[in-house]
Amino acid sequence: MFGPMRGMKEQVYLGDEVTDPEITLPNVLLTDLNAQRPNPVNFTNRPPDVTHYLGVGILSNDNSYYNHPEYYPIHSLRPQNKHSSSIVNYITFALPSVPLLSQPEDVGTSIFCNRSTFKNLTQCQEKLCRCTHRIHVQLGQEVELVVAVVSPYGAGHPMHLHGYKFHVLAMEPYGPPYDIEHVEKQDKESPFVRKFFKPPFKDTVIIPNHHYAVLRFKADNPGVWFFHCHIASHMIAGQGLVIQVGDPSQWPPLPANFPRCGGHGVAYPAPGERKPCTGTASSHSSIGAAILLSLICLCSLDLKMN
């Protein structure tokens, strides 16, 4: 059952018809609600094994995928015409060219990055930092994600985790400055209040602009799991990361004859045959860029012919 909600001038319940123009609809945050079922994992009021602070949003930096420094520089565009980079902790996610889960032995470690890779993350606010963003947790750890929306553009983001459901222990607005360093400092100096009694249990949570959410799960499902914004354009533009749980030796074996890179759904390897992928995230993107460039050239030719 729902009780009276915050911000109301009078006691109003969900489903009531509100006719008084003086009464504004309240903000109902997810953590105002209770889970209907008992917690699958009985978290008590103790710190998790590991906490990751993740600032998600949109950033207007010098993204070379959209702008050319000479012919189409971002600083020559009106603010409303500027392209934006999708980010988590200022990093734009790049899909790897090799499937991380089924061919970890073919993945070069150089494609990965995270917050600690960059000595000075402020550089990513000016220039694009694009790589396969990964955080690595141990199998069985209690993991907490403190996710804050840091965009200046007023958008919320529906963040979705593959492989798990998580408990939403907290969700609140926070004040400026709107960056993840500020959120982390606040939580460490005066920890955000966590709700351990019947916290909502979900696999997607919409985090409003300039709010944080505290998500917790037990990392008992080994593998590599995508955590991303579910707005398709944000996801494709790089608003996500992968959470690697455990090491490949702890992951379930592949089914027999599982397709390898180079034969997805078409060609299957002979027994014992290996088809290692070649290339990296950047070379993969170069191929994409070459295709895009070819299309642009073809369009230009077509225009000239007409």
| Positions in the binding site for Cu ion (CB under 5 A) | 157, 229, 231, 234, 239
Neighbours of 191 (CB within 10 A): 11
Residue whose pair of structure tokens reads 């994992």 in the numeric block: 41
CA distance 53 to 116: 12
- Listed in sequence order, the residues at least 6 apart from 92 whose beta carbon sits closer than 8 Å to its beta carbon are 63, 85, 86, 128, 129, 130, 237, 238
Pick the closer one to Cu ion by CB: 5 or 236.
Answer: 236
Pick the closer one to Cu ion by CB: 101 or 231.
Answer: 231
Q: 190 is written with which tokens?
A: 């005066």
- Listed in sequence order, the residues at least 6 apart from 180 whose beta carbon sits closer than 8 Å to its beta carbon are 53, 54, 55, 89, 148, 150
- In whole angstroms, the minimum distance from the beta carbon of 156 to Cu ion comes to 8
- In whole angstroms, the minimum distance from the beta carbon of 144 to Cu ion comes to 21
- In whole angstroms, the minimum distance from the beta carbon of 237 to Cu ion comes to 9
- In whole angstroms, the minimum distance from the beta carbon of 59 to Cu ion comes to 12
Pick the closer one to Cu ion by CB: 61 or 239.
Answer: 239
- In whole angstroms, the minimum distance from the beta carbon of 223 to Cu ion comes to 24
- In whole angstroms, the minimum distance from the beta carbon of 234 to Cu ion comes to 3
- CA neighbor of 97 nearest in space, from 220, 277, 243, 263: 277
Pick the closer one to Cu ion by CB: 157 or 195.
Answer: 157
Pick the closer one to Cu ion by CB: 40 or 154.
Answer: 154
Do β-strands 142-149 and 201-202 pair in parallel, antiparallel, or remain unpaired? unpaired
Q: 251 is written with which tokens?
A: 């992951």
- In whole angstroms, the minimum distance from the beta carbon of 157 to Cu ion comes to 4
- In whole angstroms, the minimum distance from the beta carbon of 72 to Cu ion comes to 25
CA distance 269 to 266: 10
Q: In the chain, which ranges are continuous DSSP H helix?
A: 180-189, 232-236, 281-305
Pick the closer one to Cu ion by CB: 174 or 196.
Answer: 174
Pick the closer one to Cu ion by CB: 72 or 153.
Answer: 153
- CA neighbor of 1 nearest in space, from 17, 19, 15: 15
CA distance 193 to 126: 34
Pick the closer one to Cu ion by CB: 231 or 261.
Answer: 231
